Structure 1
């Protein structure tokens, strides 16, 4: 059957508010074509070979009565509860075992037939026999109640699962925060310890530098004092004999000069006719006195030289001891 023939046949099968597609050997529901007839609120699909309803079937929200009896349905679409206007549903003689959770949303459902389906025990008990109008109405009410209870149980289970997941997530977040806090505290402690270690190292370095500087100052001060003392001692030692040596040398030089002058004067007197003059006589007397005093002057010079040598030796000995 082509699409156009389906449309033509469907037009032929729609009468007023009813679309009769029973005994049409259908294997699937022509949802698109049915959607073109929103006034057809009664749909008869009984006695066909339909094994499943497409999800799009749940968009036919204008349906009020649907007959799917004597087909091969093994399941119903999950969104069947979207058929909010559905009041009458015939599922007699199919292969259904369960109903979708959304079935509980069919709040306007007043009539239901689930006979001759391999229903699971709880659903079969709620459905009952449905042998007459009254039982079928009771079937609709009880099945809705049953599915609502199942839905509530599913919702509770889902809510418990969500609560457990939230609790687990909360615990994970708490543990994560605690771990982060511990890690932060550990990092803070490590930074403080590192800072304290660097501070101690810095203080130790400063103390070592200060000690070195102090020792350097002490050595320099000691060296300066020793040098000053040595210089003072050396100056004292050197200054003592120098005047003596200088005086001795000066006296010696003066004596020599005097002798030379006397000798020159004596020679001049002897070589000239002035030997009888008073000057020449004085020169001769001076030379005589020098010859007499020569021994005493030599001994005096020797004593002064010996004393100066002893002072120099004592000064050098003291300087070496201090160094």
Structure 2
């Protein structure tokens, strides 16, 4: 039997918004399995959210670089937010984006690529020595189309092509590139705000869909619903779920009376040709990285030797 710690209860509370005792019971019932405990709470109707993104802790910048039918996103992390306002660091992120546009999204290949007489990895090391903070190229992504455009949107932008959140979206079409670029930017803004999990239902992780079905079915089974009724409820619930997490089915933030797919279809008149959303990438700075929490007062006391004084 796994010991249920206060830290585990705290983490589950932050993920779900459920009460402390409910979280403790959920972890006890699921032998400490965090994801199973989230599902247990949802089945009981006690979770306020299906999932909650990990607390964003890392600093730095997201960079986007476009070249017509191709685009890249890079995330370069630093220790503090001050660095994001440093012109040398901003230049470093832009340079890394330009390199990624040529080499592709493989982080190791980007770091090994030459910029002048030195590699990107050496350039990062030089910036660390000059600025005085640890930095790292965390990840990169690329999108391209045969015909059409790759558009972008940077949220909380600090300079051209740099921000705290970045989105690139690829549109396939033989239509007018200026109209495509405008449409692409609107869709990229939507993606930044709505955070879809996939382009459509086919792009979702089958395990995630299975879990969603199980949660829905178990919730209503516990209410005594008949199996044939549960089947219909689950089918309806999945349709609602797809509208929440699939880009093409989401309500378009610029006109919530239509879906993104409908908005794209209507835009084809201005573009002058059919338009297909071929893919998207959304990076939020530091997502999934947890910064170690510390007790600042305790650190100050320790540094001053107060903790060694007799009570």
User: Looking at both structures, which has the greater relative contact order when contacts are Cα pairs under 8 Å and sequence separation is at least 6?
Assistant: 2
Structures share a fold, TM > 0.5?
A: no
Larger Rg: 1
TM-score range, shorter chain: under 0.3
Structure holding more strand per residue: 2
TM-score for both structures, normalised by structure 2 = 0.19
